[in-house]
Chains A and B, each alone.
Chain A
Amino acid sequence: MGKKVIARKIVYDVNEKRVISVEKYEIILPDIPYDENEYNKAVYGV
């Protein structure tokens, strides 16, 4: 499953001082249950 969200890729040009393009696309953020051991491993690298 997972969470479906609309994501955007933005291009900003500093010479034109504006956003020159926006691309929208769909991404799915996976549902991963919280596991304290895995989390601590990620945090502490152990």
Chain B
Amino acid sequence: MGWVTAYVLAKKYADTKVVQPDNETLEAVDGILRVKDGGITPSKLSFGTWEKIADVTLSSVSSVSITGLDGDTDKMYRIVIYGKVTVTTYPEWILLKPNGTTISTECILFHRRWDGPNASASTNVTHTTQDGFVLLKYFRSDLSSSAGAVFVDAVLNAQTGFPRVCLSNAFNDDSSSEARYFHFDIASEWYDTTTNITSFDISLTAGTLDGRLLVFKVL
């Protein structure tokens, strides 16, 4: 049956459905054929996209383990965290540890604070070694008040054969009397090129997280 014929039939019979060879389902709406929404999946999009593989609500959480991964197959992960952190010490770190193990990463942090009501703008670049990929270096000066806001959007190349690198674009507020806001660009590198990543732990070095964690893989 040709597509012109299918279109004519669909227009005539509004409930007609036609299945294409690649299994996308078409349906007639007001006499017009279109791809049914449910028939579209990320894997059918040739330009590649992110597929959400984990969506976790965080309530007083110190660590989250994401299991069932395959870094060689998934190739790349995107990690989004938003919510609030409760700590009483500083600085604390949100780290990502592949396979739940402590690793040594070299990382460069560019962090910036800009004007708050009582603070002056400033920038700073530091270099450090940490026990995992760094998602956020958390600062807070008013440790006695309520939790501060955080946001993390990080991408990790997980495929073996390459040094694994994580780039994190992150924010935290410091709702003290100086009301500082930190925006971080953080690059961490793990020199291991052979160990497949089959899980990872995201943890706070001290304190707890409330909010939401989303993990995506690339297709």
Which residues on A are within 8 Å of B, measured CB to CB?
Answer: 2-3, 5-16, 19-20, 27, 29-32, 34, 36, 39, 42-45
Known: A34-B141, A34-B142. A8 touches B59 (CB 8 A): yes
What secondary structure prevails in chain B residues at the interface with A?
Answer: strand
User: Which residues of A sit under 8 angstroms from B58, Cβ to Cβ?
Assistant: 10
A9-B64, A10-B63, A34-B142 given; name 5 further pairs at CB < 8 Å: A7-B60, A10-B61, A14-B54, A14-B66, A43-B91
Q: Is the CB of A8 within 8 A of B60?
A: yes
User: Which residues of B sit under 8 angstroms from A16, Cβ to Cβ?
Assistant: 68
B215 to chain A, nearest CB (A): 7
B65 within 8 A of partner (CB) = yes
Whole-angstrom CA separation of A26 from B2 in the bound complex = 67
Band of interface residues on B: 35 or more
A5 to chain B, nearest CB (A): 6
| Residue of A with least CB distance to B59 | A8
Q: Is the CB of A9 within 8 A of B67?
A: no
Known: A5-B60, A32-B89. A14 touches B141 (CB 8 A): no
| Residue of A with least CB distance to B128 | A45
Q: Is the CB of A12 within 8 A of B63?
A: no
B151 within 8 A of partner (CB) = no
Q: Is the CB of B141 within 8 A of A39?
A: yes
